Amino acid sequence: MDITFASSLPADAMLVAHVVNRGDAPAGLEPVLVEGARAARFKGGAGQLFEGFVERGGKIVRVALSGAGEGDAADRGINCEKAGAAIAGKYLCSGETAVVLDLTGSGLSAAEAASVLFGLRLRSWRYDAYRTRMKDEQKKTLAGVTVVGAPDGTEDAWAKEAALAEGVEFARVLAAEPPNLLYPVEFVARCEKALAGTGVEIVVLDDAEMEKLGMGSLLGVGLGSERDSRLLCMKWMGGNPGDRPTAFVGKGVTFDTGGISLKPGPGMEDMKWDMGGAGAVAGAMVALALRKAKANIIGVCGLVENMPDGRAQRPGDIVTSMSGQTIEVLNTDAEGRLVLCDALTWTQQQFDPVAVVDFATLTGAMIIALGNEHGGLFSNDDTLAERLLSAGQATGDKLWRFPLSPAYDKLIDSPIADMKNVGPRGAGSITAAQFLQRFIDKDRPWAHCDIAGMVWADKPGQTWDKGATGYGVRIMDRYVRDVLEG
């Protein structure tokens, strides 16, 4: 989506959109539109859209009124995104190729105007790379937005949000790519390409290097795959040179068959997005680097493919993690924690981060608990947890906190090794988090986000079509803005 700013309404504008607050009579509009909106019960609710046709300067013009909700709502930014998203949702495949967003008299602030554009851009993302036989009415037509009447400062505010949109879209592409084409080595290549020239430093560990470091847990998961595993580290040092970094760590299982503990066939294709945590971390690095965030951030992705094979690990195997702790692998489908634990150990040893936050599509149990409305948050630090919860609230990538405690931790003790990789049936998401906590240094603020239900959507939402959502990128970006740059 090409977004440009202009000082006056283009003479050839055929589609003009206005943003309207709830209850406000749309100022300066033709009576026929005002009356039409009233008759259609258009009230300016967030995401509500009314369309009419009027004659302007001797031409028939298509006019959209898009609602932004209450002018003073706490979630005003999100409501403005919905106003932009509604325009994209309505006209994306309409045959219209350009829309003029006329913000004259809208009363929006620069930040709110940027939010409208952000919603419009995010909602217009769709991945058609592999669709070669689309009918005309299926094709995306809307390609450009011209903004007129924007409040002062909108262009600067938008530049920052455009960087974030870039990051969200990158995360979505990674999640949407099929698993035959996106495997660990290719994931790394995509990140190298996306981050080239941004100033992000990239370090990649291959199987042999990880072997040398003793990452027996991560490597064990990749044993059944023909594809090599990788540990990807992306370093953005935009803050004070002496400041210890904050680390984001992602689960990047490019396909999860379950391994020898094979998953049932129906729905297994969903496991192509089992790299959604890593995708979100990579997307966040793109966003932070493009907007030149004044913060030191490390992004680490543990990348493997979990396949059943003659060389695959078996239920009952015992592996030794980089931390030295041994793990009895009772279920090869509980592989995410096996990947993350070594990634977490390496990250802490390498960077001594002030805080570590991991993102992972870790447990199906998370979806049972929260559905597709919240990611699950687990943390050993109340301040960190509060900050992540507010970042989620502010961006709409919502989180909900779950408990950790020694009583849950006990459930993963093993009679033959230091721990087992699965607990009993109950509290599956919590025992998974307890497992990760065993690899977190004492006194290190850490949070785990189980985003199993959030990476992919079966139906369109406010700022996404059905498919990859890019969930998590905005949490990290917002956390950096509010906590590290604020």
Q: Can you count the helices (H) and strands (E) in the chain?
A: 14, 19
Binding span for Zn ion by CB under 5 A among 39-47, 216-224, 294-302, 329-337? 329-337
> In the bound complex, what is the minimum distance in angstroms from residue 365's beta carbon to ligand BES?
6
452 binds, among Zn ion, Mn ion, ligand BES, none (CB under 5 to 8 A by kind): ligand BES
Chain residues 297-356 in contact with ligand BES, contact rule CB under 6 A:
331, 333-336
Q: Which residue has the tokens 């405690």?
A: 405
* DSSP secondary structure, 69-124, as one string: --TT-TTHHHHHHHHHHHHHHHHTTSS--EEEEE-TT----HHHHHHHHHHHHHHT
Does the active-site annotation cover 420? Answer: no
365 binds, among Mn ion, ligand BES, Zn ion, none (CB under 5 to 8 A by kind): ligand BES
> In the bound complex, what is the minimum distance in angstroms from residue 184's beta carbon to ligand BES?
16
What residue ranges bind Mn ion (CB under 5 A)? 256, 333, 335
Specify the residue, 164 or 253, whose C-beta has the smaller distance to ligand BES: 253
CA angle 114, 118, 119 (to 5 degrees): 120
> In the bound complex, what is the minimum distance in angstroms from residue 238's beta carbon to ligand BES?
32
Q: Do the beta carbons of residue 298 and residue 347 sit within 8 Å?
A: yes
> In the bound complex, what is the minimum distance in angstroms from residue 169's beta carbon to Mn ion?
27
Question: Strand 456-457 and strand 201-205: pairing?
Answer: unpaired
With binding defined as CB under 6 A, does residue 363 bind ligand BES?
yes
Binding span for ligand BES by CB under 6 A among 29-37, 357-365, 389-397, 474-482? 357-365
Q: Cα–chain-centroid distance for residue 484?
A: 19
Candidates 199, 364, 371, 403: give the one binding ligand BES (CB under 6 A). Answer: 364
Q: Please report how the helices 76-91 and 110-123 are oriented relative to each other, as an axis angle in degrees rounded to 10.
A: 40
Chain residues 335-374 in contact with Zn ion, contact rule CB under 5 A:
336
**CA 67/CA 87 separation, integer angstroms:** 10
With binding defined as CB under 6 A, does residue 422 bind ligand BES?
yes
Cβ–Cβ contacts within 10 Å for residue 328, how many?
A: 20
With binding defined as CB under 6 A, does residue 452 bind ligand BES?
yes
What token pair was written down for 22? 């709830």
Q: Do the beta carbons of residue 117 and residue 2 sit within 8 Å?
A: no
Specify the residue, 21 or 363, whose C-beta has the smaller distance to ligand BES: 363
**CA 320/CA 342 separation, integer angstroms:** 10
Cβ-Cβ contacts under 8 Å for 382 (sequence gap 6 or more): none
Report CA Rg, the chain: 24
Specify the residue, 52 or 428, whose C-beta has the smaller distance to Mn ion: 428
**CA 383/CA 18 separation, integer angstroms:** 41
- Nearest Cα neighbor of 325 from 306, 343, 345, 355 is 345
With binding defined as CB under 6 A, does residue 279 bind ligand BES?
no
**Buried b / exposed e along 39-59 (16+ C-beta atoms within 10 A):** eeebbbbbbbbbbbebeeeee
Q: List 265's β-bridge partners, or say none.
A: none
CA distances (Å), origin 485, targets 249, 450, 482? 20, 25, 6
Specify the residue, 14 or 367, whose C-beta has the smaller distance to ligand BES: 367
Cβ–Cβ contacts within 10 Å for residue 72, how many?
A: 7
- Per the residue annotation, which of 337, 387, 398, 481 is the catalytic one? 337
Does the active-site annotation cover 190? Answer: no
- Per the residue annotation, which of 43, 140, 227, 263 is the catalytic one? 263
Specify the residue, 51 or 358, whose C-beta has the smaller distance to ligand BES: 358
Q: Binding string to Zn ion for residues 251 to 280, with x set by CB under 5 A, is what?
A: --x--x-----------------x------
Residue number with the smallest Cβ distance to Mn ion: 333
> In the bound complex, what is the minimum distance in angstroms from residue 337's beta carbon to Mn ion?
9
Specify the residue, 80 or 369, whose C-beta has the smaller distance to ligand BES: 369
Sequence letter at residue 236: W
Specify the residue, 337 or 398, whose C-beta has the smaller distance to Mn ion: 337
Specify the residue, 62 or 438, whose C-beta has the smaller distance to ligand BES: 438
Candidates 112, 256, 305, 358: give the one binding ligand BES (CB under 6 A). Answer: 256
> In the bound complex, what is the minimum distance in angstroms from residue 336's beta carbon to Mn ion?
6
Contact footprint for Zn ion (CB under 5 A): 253, 256, 274, 336
| Contact set with ligand BES (CB under 6 A) | 256, 274, 331, 333-336, 361, 363-365, 367, 422, 428, 452
- Active site residue ranges: 263, 337
